[in-house]
Amino acid sequence: MSQQKITLQALPGSTLRRLRNTPSYFFLIWRWSMWFYALVVILGTNFTPFQKHIGYILLTVTLLQTLIVTLYTPILHLFLPKFLHIFHLSRPRRHISPEDEPVDIFTPLSQTRNASWDVIVYSVDLLICGIVMYYGGTFGDPPFGAGSVFYRYGISSVFAAGLAYRARGGLAAALGYDLFVLLGMVLPPPGAEHHIPNIIDIAGSLVDAPVIALLTGYVATLLSNYAQSKRREQDTARRQQALVRVSETLMRGATDKEHLLQKSVAQIRQGGHFQRLTLALEYIDDEPALIAPTELSLSLYYIEDEIPGELPSRRSEQFFQQVFRSGHYHVAFEPLRDPHGYGLARLYVPILKDGRVHMVMGAESVRQTPFNERQEKFLTISGTYLLVVLDNIHLTERMIELAAIAERGRIAREIHDGIAQLIYMLSLNAEACAAQAQRIAEASEEDAELLLPLAQRLDALVTLSKQALWETRTYMFNLKPLVSGTMTLPQMLASQLREFAAISGLHTRLETHLHDEAQPGEQVGTAIFRIVQEALTNTYKHASASEVQVILEQQASSIELTICDNGRGLPIPVSVEYHHATTDQRLYSGRGLQGMRERVHELGGTIEIAHQPTSGLCLRIHIPLTKSIASERS
């Protein structure tokens, strides 16, 4: 019972596969039926011992021929693959998707990669059938052609050639078969009775083979056309179903970009029946970039079938670079060391938007033919869907970012118009009261002893109010977007130092040496602005300095920032240098300098704190431009 179930499962299940095996079915049924017909005639008729002897020889030869030919029929490969593999009669099983299978119908006998060998197989089959038909005339009347007991058996060779090579091949086989009929007319086989051919015998023996050749060639053409039409319908339905699954995946994963890319790549690979699918993205400042191959930095998302020994190592990046530069799809087929003609098919399709390459999809499979227009259209449509969803995600993220920036700007305006103004008025009033108390104390010695403590408290209140004002302004700067609009980094720093000088009363000096054609990017500029802001706050609160100097200069491949004051410095005897690679070190004086170190670390730079020869402290920061640009791109 279980064996029957396994056998039934081995039958070709799809309509297209049954259709493609139709010639094999007809050929085997015809040949075996006609062999049994000859067997019944020879065994059931009283012939002479000589005729019986010839009949047994012919039955043995045709039985062996039929068994051997049956082993070469494609339909048998579905039932006995392991047995045929021992005798090298079957091809190795490979990963061939339904879309990659051949479209044409199967020939009655298995085809090889050598066309000459196929012609020899069909010719030998025709030769044996012709000889058997000739000697089979011994039993018939007339002793040639249709009178032979093996005449219909031999017609199967014409049937096979017509199905394999259409009308031309069938007519050629029919001509060869009719030559054996003519041989029987001219030279009767041994043991045959003397017979004078008439027009009916001649016509009946010579017409059947050409007519069958034409009919089988016509039927084979119809079957092939119908199989191709059926394949196109199946491919269209399969691609539509795959696109529906991809669209559903894109809709469900429209929030998480990483999950969306991984999931969609898996769905597209499955829908296109690819063994490997790779998706390449290259973004700079949220826009795709066409750059030199040596500078190409790709984000690759791939998924593949695990087939050991089938696929070579990944060498896809050069193809992605080529497609990114040219904007044209790339098709390649690399033959493998395989006797059956299998090779590695590659297809790289660019996904364009506004005339620029935003994404490239690469597919690879082991198959016998290169990828064609069907796979190209499928990748183009799927990639376009994916690109639209990615753009929507980007727009959503940008809207959220803009909303956050707008809200931070609103809060900054509220602080500026409310708390900052009140603190500023408090600072002015406290300063005026301190000056008034100082003048009264100087004018009256009697009141000086009483007013001096008040003046000192008012001076402390002035200092606290200025510190509160600077802290408020710092919070406002933290909320506002920096290095945006038309203001450059030197202009932002100059404005910052002027405001600091106005609030703190300290003397400030700014020196900038930047190349006009290469201003720092947004991330570098923001980091420099925040570091200067934190350094000014620390100087004002802790250094007891009277002067601050900021120097910003651009070297060949880096930006150098130096911040010096003439205050009391830090209680450490020697200079300490902190590189971006040291994660376990802690800067002196808490979170302020620690925050500076973290900003510099993100850009791959170094920070150094050193005492000046006279007094004060110097903060030196080195930021390499190459690493900082790469950080901005990521």
Q: What is the CATH number of the domain that holds 362?
A: 3.30.450.40
pLDDT tens per residue, range 244-303 = 777 766 666 556 677 777 777 877 887 777 888 888 876 434 433 332 233 334 444 444
Burial class for 389, CB neighbours closer than 10 Å (0-12, 13-18, 19+): buried
Task: Determine the average pLDDT of the residues in 106-125.
Answer: 84
Q: How far apart are CA 267 and CA 515, in angstroms?
A: 49
Q: What is the predicted pLDDT for the residue at 85?
A: 46
SS3 state at 363: strand
Any domain includes 606: yes
What's the token pair of residue 408? 């931070």
Any domain includes 619: yes
Q: Cβ(37)–Cβ(152) under 8 Å? A: yes
Q: What is the predicted pLDDT for the residue at 198?
A: 85
Looking at the structure, tell me whether residues 446 and 304 fall in a common domain: no
Q: Which residue has the higher pLDDT, 348 or 227?
A: 348
Q: What is the CA radius of gyration of the chain?
A: 45
Query: How many angstroms separate the Cα of 193 from the Cα of each of 137, 187, 188?
Result: 9, 12, 8
Any domain includes 631: yes
Looking at the structure, tell me whether residues 307 and 443 fall in a common domain: no
pLDDT tens per residue, range 48-89 = 888 889 999 999 999 999 998 887 777 665 555 444 444 444
Q: Cβ(81)–Cβ(71) under 8 Å? A: no
Query: How many angstroms separate the Cα of 435 from the Cα of each of 206, 446, 466, 506, 588?
Result: 134, 18, 16, 19, 37
Looking at the structure, tell me whether residues 139 and 284 fall in a common domain: no
Q: Which residue has the higher pLDDT, 10 or 27?
A: 27
Query: How many angstroms separate the Cα of 631 from the Cα of each of 129, 277, 308, 485?
Result: 78, 28, 37, 22
Any domain includes 83: yes
pLDDT score of 411 more than 90: no
Looking at the structure, tell me whether residues 566 and 431 fall in a common domain: no
Looking at the structure, tell me whether residues 465 and 424 fall in a common domain: yes
SS3 state at 577: strand
Looking at the structure, tell me whether residues 172 and 275 fall in a common domain: no
DSSP conformation letters of 240-299 = HHHHHHHHHHHHHTSS-HHHHHHHHHHHHHHHHT-SEEEEEE-EETTEE----GGG---E
pLDDT score of 556 more than 50: yes
What's the token pair of residue 326? 């040219």
State which H helix or E strand residue 507 sits in.
strand 507-513
Domain tally, the chain: 4
Looking at the structure, tell me whether residues 134 and 268 fall in a common domain: no
* Sheet containing 276-281, strands listed edge to edge, beginning at the edge strand earlier in sequence: 299-304, 276-281, 356-367, 343-353, 330-335
Any domain includes 300: yes
Q: Which residue, 159, 384, 368, is CA-closest to 268? A: 384
Q: What is the CATH number of the domain that holds 611?
A: 3.30.565.10
Any domain includes 593: yes
Looking at the structure, tell me whether residues 560 and 633 fall in a common domain: yes
Q: Quickly state the pLDDT bin for 39 (edges 50, 70, 90).
A: very high
Q: How far apart are CA 51 and CA 59, in angstroms?
A: 12
pLDDT score of 606 more than 60: yes
Q: What is the predicted pLDDT for the residue at 504?
A: 76
Any domain includes 242: no
Residue 549 DSSP symbol = E
Looking at the structure, tell me whether residues 79 and 205 fall in a common domain: yes
Task: Determine the average pLDDT of the residues in 114-135.
Answer: 91
62: which residues sit within 8 A by CB, 6+ positions away? 35, 38, 128, 132, 150, 153
Looking at the structure, tell me whether residues 80 and 118 fall in a common domain: yes
Looking at the structure, tell me whether residues 276 and 335 fall in a common domain: yes
Which residue range(s) make up the domain with 402? 395-481
pLDDT score of 387 more than 60: yes
What's the token pair of residue 254? 């429209």
Q: Do β-strands 547-554 and 507-513 pair in parallel, antiparallel, or remain unpaired?
A: parallel
The amino acid occupying position 251 is M
Looking at the structure, tell me whether residues 476 and 500 fall in a common domain: no
User: Positive or negative CA dihedral for 390, 395, 400, 404?
Assistant: positive
User: Does pTM surpass 0.75?
Assistant: no
Q: What is the predicted pLDDT for the residue at 381?
A: 84
Q: Which of 429, 448, 481 is a domain's end point?
A: 481
Q: Which of 371, 404, 439 is a domain's end point?
A: 371
pLDDT tens per residue, range 490-531 = 888 888 888 788 777 788 999 988 775 456 677 788 788 888
Query: How many angstroms separate the Cα of 29 from the Cα of each of 16, 24, 36?
Result: 20, 8, 11
- The b/e string for 19-56 (b: 16+ C-beta within 10 A; e otherwise) is bbbbbbebbbebbbebbeebeebbeeeebeeebeebbe
Any domain includes 386: no
